[in-house]
Amino acid sequence: MKTKNFIKGLLLSSVIILSSCGTDSDPEPVGVNDCNGILNGPALIDDCGDCQQAYVYDVVSHTVQLLDDVNDVELGQTEILVMPDDASSPYWNQGCITAPSTYTFDRMGQSTVSYGGQSTRLLMAIELYNSFTTGSETELLEMFNNGTGFGSVDFNGTTIDLDASGKKLGNKTAAYGSATVKPLFDAMLSKQANVVMPAVNAGTIASAGVAGSFTGVGGRTVKVDEKGFELNQTFIKGLIGGLCVDQIVNGYLSPSKLNSGDNETSGLGAGEYTNMEHYWDEGLGYLYGLEADITAPTFSANGSVLLNKYAGKVNTSGDVDMNAVYTALIAGRTAIVNMDYVERDAQALIAREHISKILGVKASDYLRGGAEQLQNSTPDMAEAIHDLSEGYGFVLSLQFALDGGGNYLFTNSEVNNMLAILEAGNGLWDVDAAALIQMADDIDARFGM
């Protein structure tokens, strides 16, 4: 039974008892105070134990006027009277929402979950990645920095005009990191268009110091620069950290970002959300933004080339628990609705740590995979180059990773030192396997893996 009904019943019983014990000379009961202390007032206690008042709501100005008495209330043309337990009141039972089993949140029956901008950027990343072998420098940089040159794509049955979205990738890349990082991505795009593809198209066989294409003994063909880097791999893996993880762990799920967004629910209509609620959803969007159904994430089955794909790959590694991430995201969003910011931040730390670990697991894996190939009696250099190019992108990403306390695990300088080892001399053509293993060991130790 709801608290308000229990209290109503208790008060009614009290009145009956007092009436039955009285005499003809006893005064008539004068009524009782409501939970707001007003005699015969309309306020009620909701299921959470909170006292809720009636109010007048202006549907145009969105102002709220709390009422002690609803008798003789005169309403303006744009005003409505809302009783405490009215179905349209966002305050009733607001303080006691329990965490749902899936990422499902609503206001007055309509979903408040929104991360369309993040889905759009993830779709842009796919299109940009697919354009690496055909785009000119101008075209690739336009797609990355201006958010144009894409056209329309189908997303879960809906056609989205990416060019008209107003979204960009470049301005969100390394937004919370060193200013030296973003230019690295621009340089990869320029080099791909001006160095790698002209050599590939000319039929140049790549070798130490020579850009072109190279086919390994296992049949894999790689298109590389003069140091053996597959720039499509270094770019897209770097974007996993520089875009997705940075935006999630250092941006949208960080207290500094969340605290800058108001969480005032008064005046919100069906399906409308607070800034804080939206920030949290946007953080989630960089991980799950391409899922057809956020209540049942599938990982990798949605065409993602960024974080979601590799979240699926590491979910059984023993170091990353994506179920814990999903649960924390639900619990944190619930805490925002309940205005419990201590719990919000505690859940954010869980999500931020496990998401960051994706970078550590994959950086270590690819470095070890490349080293193992190089140590073979007959190395397949195409396979080694492919692994180490991916590893390079994940190493670049490490500077955006956080530990369980919300602290950076690697500085920009430490990451640059590791990248320099991979780039030294002829780069991947003659990198030392022992150096790769040592780097992987250091990464594992830093992440506690």
pLDDT digits (tens, 9 = 90+) for 376-399: 999 999 999 999 999 999 999 999
Q: How many CB atoms are closer than 10 A to CB 315? A: 17
Give the C-alpha separation, 265 to 52, whole Å.
14
User: SS3 helix, strand, coil % of the chain, rounded to 5?
Assistant: 50, 10, 40
Query: Does residue 307 contact residue 355 with C-beta atoms inside 8 Å?
Result: yes
What residues have CB less than 8 Å from 148, skipping those under 6 apart? 142, 163
Assign 7 a pLDDT band (cuts: 50, 70, 90).
Answer: very low
Q: Which of 46-60, 227-241, 302-316, 407-421 has the lowest average pLDDT?
A: 46-60
Q: How many CB atoms are closer than 10 A to CB 139? A: 16
Identity of the amino acid at 269: G
Q: Characterize 387-418 residue by residue with b for buried, 16 or more Cβ atoms within 10 angstroms of its Cβ, and e for exposed.
A: bbbbbbbbbbbbbbbbbeebebbbebebbbeb
DSSP tag of 402 = B
pLDDT digits (tens, 9 = 90+) for 335-345: 999 999 999 99
The DSSP bridge pattern shows strands 212-215 and 221-224 to be antiparallel
Interaxial angle between packed helices 275-288 and 307-314, expressed in degrees from 0 to 180 and rounded to the nearest 10: 70
Q: How many CB atoms are closer than 10 A to CB 1? A: 7
Mean pLDDT along residues 267-295: 96
pLDDT of residue 357: 97
For the chain, what are the domain ranges?
3-96, 103-449
- What single string gives the DSSP state of each residue in 195-262? IIHHHHHTTPBPBTTB-EEEE-TTS-EEEE-TT---HHHHHHHHHIIIIIIIIIIIIITSHHHHTTS-
pLDDT of residue 27: 55
- pTM of the entire predicted model: 0.81
